[in-house]
Amino acid sequence: MPRLSAPIYLDYNAGAPLRPGARDAVIEVLKDTGNASSVHANGRRARGRVEAARDGVARLCGTGARSVTFVSGGTEANMTALSRVWQDGGNPVYLDKLFISAVEHPSVMTGGRFAVADQVIVPVDGDGVIRLDALRQSIEGAEPGLVSVMAANNETGVIQPLAEIGAIAQENGHFFHVDAVQAAGRIQIDMEGWQADAITLSAHKFGGPQGIGAIVSRSTSRSPAPLMIGGGQENWRRGGTENVAAIAAFGHAAEDAQSDLDAVRHLQDLKSRLEAGLKSVCQDTVIFGEGADRLANTTCFAVRDLPAETALIALDLERVSVSSGSACSSGKVSVSHVLTAMGVDEALARCAIRVSMGWDTRPEEIDAFLELWPAVVDRLNPKARSRAA
């Protein structure tokens, strides 16, 4: 097996490398002292950094800065959005049901502040796209509730028809939340076009630091009840002293991601090269979600009888970082609920591997991965290549 001269990181959907501007922002803030709620010069300087970052995140989302609330990351942002109580024009609205797709991130699948009995799971088709007919049937005539659907799937990269989902939700008097954690910085966010009442973000998916995210409302008068209650930080929408260093870096990463949005499209060419190369090695390679609109950076594939867990170890020994379609918990590998919802059989689902690229991915890294992959297949399952010959 060929040896690589440098490690290759192809797991951007788990976390992207920190962008240089974001790294510089963290260092600059950590050299300083100041609570963004203090009125002295140090506090005002910290406040200025928070508000500059709020502007940057708002531009990424195409909305006003007042709509952005900083939280600790994507999970807290989703938990905040999944509230049974929303404000609408200053009046509380109590929501009856939560409607989610069968392929949501675990932080949404838990249901947030909705009881299990009040959650409705809407099925998807074989490519992982929500069935609009099933969604409409679920919510028509129902009491006002919350529809929560991810913009793009973290495992397959499949993009949901958000404008159509938003229209169905609004026509039937429901609130609409979009988990945009994997989409931000990879496709244009269009809250108006999606008719989304709120979207959620996590900075580390597009080059910001870990541990910082945001919930962004389309209207400041239409938003979920706070999850974290404390002081008056974040306009009373999220209590707790602001993490100024992380917020400042988040803002820089958001601005860079927005500027790079056109350049990100070059990843589509790399994805096409990758998928063609995978199929040339094993013609029966399965690309999950291949028939749907997908993020330019994500490929989730499998070769039957080539377990992902073993392949990941082999690749890691060669200093290549990719991910599995399965979720690991307490040392146990479980079959992906996303692939199960798509109708993928368990044996094939256990072979799923995810390659995800990003702002610092270079063509030679994809070429190096494709150079390594045949040797991995030959070592772990020689019959796979002969089967496809």
What's the average model confidence in pLDDT over 221-225? Answer: 92
Q: For position 56, which CATH number holds?
A: 3.40.640.10
| Range of lowest pLDDT (32-36, 78-82, 141-145, 240-244) | 32-36
Distance from C-alpha of 277 to C-alpha of 87, rounded to nearest angstrom: 51
Catalytic: 351?
Answer: no
Q: For position 316, which CATH number holds?
A: 3.90.1150.10
Taking the mean position of all CA atoms in its chain, how far away is CA 257? 14
pLDDT of residue 330: 47
pLDDT above 90 (res 325): no
Specify whether 338 is located in the same domain as 326: yes
Specify whether 325 is located in the same domain as 207: no
pLDDT of residue 332: 56
pLDDT of residue 327: 56
Summarize pLDDT for 334-352 with one digit per residue, the tens. 789 999 999 999 999 999 9
For strands 119-122 and 98-101, give the pairing.
parallel
CB 149 within 8 A of CB 178: yes
Q: Please report whether residue 206 resides in a domain.
A: yes
275 is written with which tokens? 């998928």
What's the average model confidence in pLDDT over 231-257? Answer: 95
Measure Cα distances from 314 to 27, 143, 310, 370, 373 in Å. 36, 52, 6, 14, 10
Instruction: pLDDT band for 90, please (50, 70, 90 cuts).
Output: confident
Q: For residue 20, give the DSSP letter.
A: H
Summarize pLDDT for 7-39 with one digit per residue, the tens. 999 999 999 999 999 999 999 999 998 999 999
Q: Please report whether residue 254 resides in a domain.
A: yes
319 is written with which tokens? 């200093």
DSSP H or E segment with residue 371 = helix 363-380
Residue with tokens 């958000």: 162
pLDDT of residue 334: 76
pLDDT of residue 266: 87
Q: Please report whether residue 90 resides in a domain.
A: yes
Taking the mean position of all CA atoms in its chain, how far away is CA 89? 29
Specify whether 254 is located in the same domain as 331: no
Residue 19, CB-side half-sphere exposure with 13 Å CA sphere: 26
pLDDT of residue 265: 77
Specify whether 37 is located in the same domain as 180: yes
217 is written with which tokens? 């409302």
Specify whether 269 is located in the same domain as 130: no
Instruction: pLDDT band for 59, please (50, 70, 90 cuts).
Output: very high
pLDDT above 50 (res 145): yes
Specify whether 237 is located in the same domain as 377: no
Cβ neighbours of 277 (radius 10 Å) = 17
pLDDT above 70 (res 262): yes
Summarize pLDDT for 63-75 with one digit per residue, the tens. 999 999 999 999 9
Specify whether 233 is located in the same domain as 272: no
Q: Please report whether residue 381 resides in a domain.
A: yes
Domain extent, residue 174, equals: 20-259
pLDDT of residue 1: 57
Instruction: pLDDT band for 201, please (50, 70, 90 cuts).
Output: very high
Specify whether 328 is located in the same domain as 202: no
Specify whether 180 is located in the same domain as 299: no
Residue with tokens 């506090």: 43
Average pLDDT, the chain: 94
Among the listed residues 61, 282, 300, 328, the single catalytic one is 328
For 159-178, the DSSP string reads BP-HHHHHHHHHHTT-EEEE
Q: Is 336 exposed, middle or buried (0-12, 13-18, 19+ CB in 10 A)?
A: buried
Specify whether 241 is located in the same domain as 271: no
Q: Please report whether residue 95 resides in a domain.
A: yes
